[in-house]
Amino acid sequence: MYKKKPFFIVFEGVEGCGKSYQSKKLFISLKKKKIKSLLTREPGGTKSAELIRNLILNDYFKKPKTDKFDRYTDTLLYLAARNEHIITKIKPALKKKEVVICDRFIDSTLAYQVYGKKVNINFINNIHKFILNGVKPNLTFILKVSPKTSRKRLLKRRTRNRYDNFTQDFYKKVQRSFLKIARKKKNYFILDSSKNNNSLEKKIFEITSKYLKIK
């Protein structure tokens, strides 16, 4: 029997893994069960955080190489967007005992900035101590995708940002990082999303239902 409670679900993975699609599908399924839910994303999720998102994602390739953000400036912008997101959207929803579904969260910062770009992890952890303020996912889905499928999906996108244009080697490194982060953690589920079909959608809902005790 479902009892209303705050619950935080995160979808993680490289570009083209289908996490945005599957997070929306889960949101729709929970709404059908009349469970108060919120679907959001990072970077972004609020008006101010979306402004930061546009700055760090969409404008990146328009600048000369010499004007690109330093990796620490880049990381600080992501963390600034997260701070706004947590204060304005995530924490208020959790206080109202809603189920929050987020497309990316702190593991993306670790996978891309720490493992991918070699930003010092202590730099990020120290800032997280202040901005997370106890907020952490109850359930995380890591969607694993084949390079071929990821590339195919990215080519179909109408609009692209900087993270859609990295090399396949970079994506492979980041995906390995996500798998490493998830290792031996009970509330992490690694699922193959190469097909991204109804069976995956059902599996995600089945796992979520178990945690939320939905019948």
pLDDT for residue 198: 87
pLDDT for residue 34: 93
Give average pLDDT by consecutive 10-residue segment, the chain, 215 residues: 89 90 96 96 95 79 66 94 98 97 97 93 97 96 83 63 64 90 94 85 96 90
User: Rounded to whole angstroms, what are the CA distances from 214 to 1, 102, 196?
Assistant: 6, 20, 23
Dist CA 35 CA 175 (whole Å) = 32
pLDDT for residue 171: 77
pLDDT for residue 86: 98
If you search the block for the tokens 């700055």, which residue do you land on?
Answer: 55
pLDDT for residue 55: 86
Q: Give the domains, in start order, of the chain with CATH numbers.
A: 7-212 (3.40.50.300)
- Among the listed residues 203, 166, 196, the one whose alpha carbon sits nearest the alpha carbon of residue 19: 196
Question: CA end-to-end span of the chain, whole Å?
Answer: 6
pLDDT for residue 153: 63
Coil, helix or strand at residue 41: strand
pLDDT for residue 24: 97
Coil, helix or strand at residue 7: strand
pLDDT for residue 58: 63
